[in-house]
Structures are given as C-alpha cells and as structure tokens.
Amino acid sequence: MSVQNKKYEKIVRGNIEKCRETYKEQTKYILSSTAQYHGRYVKTLCIPKLFDKKQCERLKHIAEYTQNILVKTIKHYIENEDFRKKFMFEPELERLILTDSDLKCVLPVSRIDIFFNEDNGDFKFCEINTDGTSAMNEDRELNIAVKKTFAYQEFSKKYTLSSFELFDSFVEEFKNIYNGYKYKKENPNVAITDFLELGTTNEFEQFRLAFERAGINAEICEIKDLVYRDNALYSKSGMRVDAIYRRAVTCDIMKNINELSDFIRAIENHSVCLVGPISTQVVHSKVFFEVISDENNLTYLTDEEKNFVKSHFPKTYHLTKDNKLFDLQEVLNNKDKWIIKPFDSYGSKGVFAGVEGNNQEWKEHILQSIDKGYVLQEFCKPYENLNIDFAKDNSEFLNYSNLSGLFVYNNKFKGVYSRVSATEIISTQYSEIALATVKIL
C-alpha cells in the first residue's frame, strides 16, 4: 500500500465517528445524483482510489502501449484473411467489420480493465471494453460526493488533489477524430446512440451537455428510431445526423440487426461518420484473448510487443471438447486457477470463476459450457488493499480486491474507473463497489 493510502487510512482510524457521519452526507448526495443505472445507485466506500503522479504515469504508459497493440490487431484483421478466420465471427458481422468507416482512428474509445499492483506497477489484463465503454459519469459523481467527507477534507490539507475530466476531454477528441473523416461537414450534428432501454441515459446527458458546451448540436437517439432517406440519416426529431457516438454494444446490434436496416444502410453508403466503427468488435470480443495467446498469431507485432502480450495477457483457450491446448482434467481438478467467459457479452454476464463455487459447481459449469461459445482463461488474483464500508453496522477495515479501468480516447489516456469487491470477483453480479479515482498532484 502506498504511503498516501496509509496516511488516508490513519485519518479515518483516528476519526471514525466523524468519518461515519460524513459518509452519510456522501451517500445522501449519491442517492440524489445521476450516478444511477436502471434504478440501481452506485455504492462506494470510505477511502477513494488514490494514485500519485508516478502511478498515473505508469497507467498512462500501460493504456497507450496497449491501445497501440489493439489498433494494430484491428488493422491486421482487416488486412489479413487468414487472421480473420481465427475469430470465427458470423459472416454478417465480418462484413460490417470490413465496411470502410472512412476514419483514420479505428478505435476511438476504449476502457482497458486491468488488475494493477499498486506496490510494484505490475498488472494483468481483465478485459477490453470498446462498444458501450461507460462509467465516466459514476467517477464524476463519486468525486463530487467524496469531497463531502471529513477524511477527504483533512487529506486535502496536506496534498493537492484532483480528478480526471472525462466529458469535455472526450468531445475534444471526438472533434479531432471527426476532422479526419473523409466527408466531414463544417457544423456536424451528433447523435449519441444506443438501445435506450439498455443504455446509461444519465451518462448520455452529460455527454450531450459537453457537446453543447463545445458548440456542437447533439441529441440522444434510440438507435432503432434512426431513419435513412435521400442519402442521409435522421433522428426521430428530424435532425440530420452527421456523426454518431456509438454506445450500442455490437452484440446487441447483431441481435437486433433486422430492426436496424436504416442505421446499417447509412454506414454502408458512407452517409454518416460512425465514431465507434463495428471493427472495434475485433478486440472487444473475448476471442481476442484466445487469438493473442498463441504467439504464432502475433507476426504483426514487434518482439517487445510480443513479450508484453506474453507477460500481461492471461492465457486463454477456446473451451471445446477437442482442444488439446489445455488439459481438461487439470482444469476440472484445479478450479481456483481458472475462469470461463462467453465469447461476447458485457456486464459480466455468463462469467464464472472457479473461486466462486465448490468443486462440483465448477465441474458442472465447465461441462455445461464446453462447445457453447466460451473461453477458458487463467484466473488472475486481484491486488488488495484496506478499506471500510460505513454502510454496514459492523463496519471494520477489510481487504478489498481492485480493478482499474483505463479510459483511452483517440489513443490517449484520459482517466481511470476504479472498482473493488470484498471477494476476488469484481462484478456487477456480486459485490462490486465503485470508488472515486483521485489524483495526488
């Protein structure tokens, strides 16, 4: 644990009742804030996630170095037919991926989730989020809330503290990306699109306001309501859509493809700038981890990049009965070493780690998932540090597992989304808790 974390913890331990009382103020703010998702408000702990300047530089390096590898992978997929076959995408998805987006930036937005060791700077990857990358608003609201606490106020007397800005910085990079678009317009209208019953509309509104601050007209649009006519795409309100900030996850697009003919035609006819082209699915899919686990597939990377992949990406295998790259019996007998994930999902749907259950439950999950579109992956034990949950009557300092999501806009590191859990599984399905990410300047 860093020196700063220990000092923050010391403030809390020496002022437990004051911290408990101001935690109530923090929670009161969150309950009335926009940090809610489909009626579920964000939960947090007493101590925020603190990163000093050296750690922020390390995270920046990890994010941007990884982003370069992701971009190379997408370009290699587009250029190399043999490489494409390894992803096993359905023909319609492959066709959409190969549709030229007319953008120089093939991966506009990503959130690279890692298990970051705060003591030595080492890390392992958890997953890559591209389509629907979210939680910017959670961090914004949590940073407002944490400032209401006694410990934060005391700590800020000794250190200069700041948060990452994730909205105006996004719009600035969106403009830079759009300026590289082949058919750009002088004053583009922007649609923030998703399946709105699934999306984080509170967050979309923050992006809309950021576009507005930059003098750009933007609407939040249901992707199914977009209309294509006369070689242009229009929103339900009648606004001509020149550029799209895509928040709709690719798997949801493919599930609803028959209802999206206008959206698809606009892409195919190059009538709209899609910031978030379908090609981002190449690295969003869990199959990406399987593909790069085989060094024979990495001919497009430098030796240094190959070593980076080998050191930080967990070994991942297609979970099939005939796969000889792993020993099924060894997997069944050593549940704590493994986790299974569906090829394409989000929000931890369908994920199961051996540490979650007993031996019988693990064997059942494995045997039921063989040849059903799953990957088998090495389980990475998260970094832990102490925190305290004043929402509990018997609150005490406990170890919490950590997961850091690195936001990258237009290939540039912009911030961190911090999550913890009282168990080794950090997932919305279980006991995931979000923390304000605070920079120590």
Collapsing DSSP to helix, strand or coil, 117 comes out as coil
Tell me whether strands 243-246 and 190-194 are parallel, antiparallel or unpaired: parallel
Domains of the chain, earliest start first:
3-284+383-440 (no CATH), 287-378 (3.30.1490)
| Contact (CB, 8 A) for 144 and 210 | no
Distances (CA, A) of 321 to 343, 344, 363, 372, 375: 16, 20, 14, 10, 12
Q: Cβ–Cβ contacts within 10 Å for residue 158, how many?
A: 12
The rounded average pLDDT for each run of 10 residues, N- to C-terminus, in the chain (441 residues) is 87 96 96 84 94 97 98 97 96 95 94 96 96 92 98 97 98 97 94 91 96 98 97 97 97 95 96 96 95 96 98 95 91 93 72 88 92 92 95 90 97 97 76 94 92
> Residue 268 and residue 249: Cα distance in Å, rounded?
18
Instruction: Please report the pLDDT score of residue 132 as a whole number.
Output: 85
Q: Which residue has tokens 């250029």? A: 79
Instruction: Please report the pLDDT score of residue 39 as a whole number.
Output: 72
Query: What is the C-alpha end-to-end distance of the chain, expressed in Å?
Result: 18
| Contact (CB, 8 A) for 318 and 375 | yes
- CA torsion 385-391-396-402 (nearest 10°) is -10
Query: Phi-psi bin for 434: left (phi > 0), alpha (psi -120 to 50), beta?
Result: beta
Instruction: Please report the pLDDT score of residue 1 as a whole number.
Output: 64
Instruction: Please report the pLDDT score of residue 200 as a whole number.
Output: 85
